[in-house]
A and B are shown apart, each in its own frame.
Chain A
């Protein structure tokens, strides 16, 4: 059963159309990757799911139509979002950033804080460090942790490996796999790093110039001529 269903999603920034009739489904408990080049509309797609854009079309999450809902209400339904730039609170410490993420899930603060610190032990060690002084990898962990503090059923992660060292990318991938396998968390990631996305996801969509161009399992797309030529350079 689909946890998230998007039908004919269109997003405009002024007169420029950023997404052209995008439709996709995300099954409960799956990891789905949206791959595509810079400017394809991947971040816009995730922003639209959480209500940060003016959009038309239909977005249904867990049986609830999100089309007319505002972002704070959508988050409280159980969608956590770790955006590309983190959008952390730079003059707050790690723990305070995480506590803000629990704004709509205050009864579960202790449990979720423990879960985040178990997932990323370095964050517990640096719980009082202001996030503006942290490395890119640590900030990505705080961003993921903050999204997890809202007790989400669906986790949206925008470009989790952007600008990170390979070792940190592996840690992030391991954490996402763990969340999916252990907690059954449904995850949607966007990525330019096609290898990373294909190794992590069970289903992949290729988004280009605001349109879904291809979809399939990683195995299917690895043999797709267009993907091979364009993204693997073969």
Chain B
């Protein structure tokens, strides 16, 4: 495929379309199941230099049992740095919650390809079920699309059975046209997921950009018949926004994408807001963050 000819994006149309999803009214039963579905789609994430084994264990506990009083599902995965994968794997054993690991010199991606492959293999050997890689934005902006494509394909190979999420870091790519191009590269190179952001720069996931990427997945599906997944990450911190994303997902890709196999939220704060809303639905009273564990 010639990536110089990917479709151009109508930015205004994109923004208006994304805003339309916010006007759907979701109440009562539908809201309740939407909140639970959103919770089951979360990749509970901790990616800090100060992460410790104990913190990861605690996060894993929360991932499996987000709340002990409410009848809620586990989250989809726990996302950590490679050095903490084995800790998370052990803590999540038998729970069905996946372990995701960032790799390829996350978050900048500025490293040698061999090292990136080694890091990916290391994370997979430690037990990661999913790998979150970053693309080389520098190379992409230089127009080295083949380099970016080959690198993703190389990492995909190193992943083995692990599913690969390709982080585009949309905030660094500039225009919607560029983001569409990067999405296509990631999909055709074999990425199982395309993911918006690392969460490490200020412009993280937005609805218009996520819509653009969902449309890339839709077009890819029409052309190849293969389903691919999407993960908006960073900046989605409240239940209301999560429900807007689910509406967008449903209206863009359809019912078969409505599971954590095909859609994830990369978020850490979102889980608590969903729990607060679920508790509110149960008790009738608005909740306080004071009564929910931070990690």
* A and B part of one assembly: no
A contact set with B: CB distance below 8 Å: none
B contact set with A: CB distance below 8 Å: none
